[in-house]
């Protein structure tokens, strides 16, 4: 693996001249997804732990929900025909035959001319066709006066009106939400089959990097990408696998990456992808004899993003600039992780929005810019652009996609926004 006497820079240049030119974002994502296997590994987790996980199976309703006709209000279950003549001057007077609480079992049929006091959730007895709310009666105990007439099935909750037995409630490849968990729990499920989380390697490269919890040395910075990307791996449905930071040395990076790949399904690195003297990631790909997937994407920031494949696993090398790495990750790494996680919907959604504030710079190349969706419009995260800036990303929930050749944008202009929170 050691490089012998050859000048490393020359090798970097050779690699860059392999006829590869930067490609559009959509082509890059396509190349990555073409090389991303659909998973099969799965496990069963308790319902609460299924939150945010990807369903491994189509699940059907086991019963009707609700499982029996019941009252949506506290009131009196009656037959609506007994109220057809009722008015304020001449209320219907019905004998209260019984009281039913939520949790009580069903009773026999309603006798005409009588009613049953029911609490919300109590079964409605056969023969009753509607429920009169307490507040619309005199709330009498032995007899109740009802001065209103009701339509058939007014205030009436039917068996199966929410969910019918055997209807699909969760699809394979769908992300499990709190609503799914509520519906599953209402069906008696206590756990759910989900895809295993893919393991995603995270490697920060750069001789300037230090771990936190120790005083910064002159010229050094704390490694923020490691934690930011680890967090993004989690929100994308993966489990991060960390590798200790490595200095800008191609052999050391190649060794670290080889070890990391043994522990993960996909790896993301930061730093060293540009054309500086110590930007070694293209050379690392060469040392590892990895298949080049692409070198450069037509985007700003993070346009030098580079991808390889080794031992059928993708390696995505992002810019070290945290703001650029963050956008690179959202647009290119997240779809891969979502696919590896079993998710059917891997690409982010886009909407068209009106700018609430101007963006005063022209965009010569295609520009992606974090933004905040607010009040039916979108606010750019900054007025200028600093690719290293991460502070401006806080509070953002979208990415403006500004086409190449766009002049400065004014408030009121329309733009595409990729949803990314
Ligand atoms: P590079 O992509 O290696 O040229 O780095 C670009 C910029 O990002 C430089 O200012 C680096 O110091 C900074 N940088 C690189 N890696 C990290 C990291 N892991 N955390 C924070 N900043 C970084
Ligand atoms: Mg660097």
Query: In this predicted model, what pLDDT tens digit does every residue of 56-104 receive, in sequence order?
Result: 999 999 999 999 999 999 999 999 999 999 999 999 999 999 999 999 9
Per-residue pLDDT of 104-116, as tens digits, reads: 998 999 999 999 9
Q: How far apart are CA 138 and CA 346, in angstroms?
A: 58
Per-residue pLDDT of 175-202, as tens digits, reads: 999 999 999 999 999 999 999 999 999 9
Average pLDDT over residues 34-48: 97
Considering the chain, what is the average pLDDT of its residues? Answer: 93
For residue 245, the ligand 1 atom closest to its alpha carbon is: 19
Q: How far apart are CA 327 and CA 308, in angstroms?
A: 19
**Which pTM was predicted?**
0.90
Cβ 319 under 6 angstroms from ligand 1: yes
pLDDT band at 4 (very low <50, low <70, confident <90, very high): very low
Q: What is the pLDDT at residue 217?
A: 97
Per-residue pLDDT of 206-236, as tens digits, reads: 999 999 999 999 999 999 999 999 999 999 9
Q: Please report which ligand is nearest the Cα atom of 301.
A: 1
Superfamily of domain 75-146: Molybdopterin biosynthesis moea protein, domain 3. (2.170.190.11)
Query: CA-CA distances (angstroms) from residue 118 to 47, 155, 186?
Result: 32, 12, 22
Q: Which CATH class is domain 15-40+196-340?
A: alpha beta
Cβ 330 under 6 angstroms from ligand 1: no
Structural domain spans, the chain? 15-40+196-340, 47-65+169-193, 75-146, 350-419
For residue 272, the ligand 1 atom closest to its alpha carbon is: 3
Q: Can you read off the two tokens belonging to residue 142?
A: 């032995």
3-state secondary structure of 112: coil
CATH 3.40.50.1100 fits 350-419, yes or no: no
Alpha carbon of 271 to ligand 1 centroid (Å): 5
Q: How far apart are CA 1 and CA 18, in angstroms?
A: 21
Residue 345 has pLDDT above 50, yes or no: yes
Q: How far apart are CA 223 and CA 322, in angstroms?
A: 9
Residue 140 has pLDDT above 60, yes or no: yes
Cβ 236 under 6 angstroms from ligand 1: no
């Amino acid at each position: 693996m050691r490089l012998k006497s050859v000048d490393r820079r020359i090798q970097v240049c050779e690699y860059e001249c392999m006829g590869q030119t930067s490609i559009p974002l959509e082509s890059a994502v396509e190349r990555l997804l073409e090389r991303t296997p659909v998973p099969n590994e799965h496990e069963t987790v308790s319902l609460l732990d299924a939150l945010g996980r990807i369903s491994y199976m189509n699940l059907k309703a086991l019963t009707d929900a609700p499982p029996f006709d019941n009252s949506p209000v506290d009131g009196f279950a009656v037959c609506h025909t007994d109220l057809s003549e009722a008015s304020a001057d001449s209320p219907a007077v019905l004998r209260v035959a019984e009281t039913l609480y939520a949790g009580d079992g069903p009773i026999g049929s309603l006798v005409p001319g009588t009613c049953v006091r029911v609490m919300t959730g109590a079964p409605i007895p056969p023969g009753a066709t509607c429920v009169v709310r307490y507040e619309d009666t005199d709330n009498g105990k032995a007899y109740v006066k009802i001065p209103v007439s009701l339509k058939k099935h007014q205030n009436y909750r039917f068996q199966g009106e929410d969910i019918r037995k055997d209807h699909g409630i969760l699809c394979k490849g769908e992300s499990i939400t709190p609503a799914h968990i509520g519906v599953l729990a209402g069906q008696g499920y206590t756990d759910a089959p989900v895809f295993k989380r893919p393991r995603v390697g995270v490697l920060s490269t750069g001789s300037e990097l230090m771990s936190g919890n120790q005083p910064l040395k002159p010229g050094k910075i704390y490694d923020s990408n490691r934690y930011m990307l680890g967090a993004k791996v989690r929100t994308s449905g993966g489990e991060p696998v960390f590798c200790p930071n490595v200095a800008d040395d191609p052999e050391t990076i190649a060794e670290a990456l080889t070890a990391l790949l043994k522990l993960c399904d996909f790896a993301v690195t930061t730093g060293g992808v540009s054309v500086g003297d110590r930007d070694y990631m293209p050379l690392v790909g060469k040392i590892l004899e990895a298949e080049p997937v692409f070198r450069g994407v037509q985007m700003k920031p993070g346009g030098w993003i580079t991808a390889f494949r080794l031992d059928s696993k993708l390696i995505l090398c992002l810019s070290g600039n945290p703001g650029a790495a963050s956008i690179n990750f959202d647009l290119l790494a997240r779809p891969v992780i979502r696919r590896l996680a079993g998710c059917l919907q891997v690409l982010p959604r886009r909407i068209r929005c009106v700018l609430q504030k101007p963006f005063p710079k022209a965009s010569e190349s295609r520009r992606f810019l974090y933004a905040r969706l607010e009040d039916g419009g979108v606010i750019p995260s900054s007025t200028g652009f600093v690719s290293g800036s991460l502070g401006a990303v806080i509070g953002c929930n979208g990415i403006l996609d500004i086409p190449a050749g766009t002049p400065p944008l004014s408030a009121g202009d329309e733009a595409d926004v990729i949803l990314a929170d």
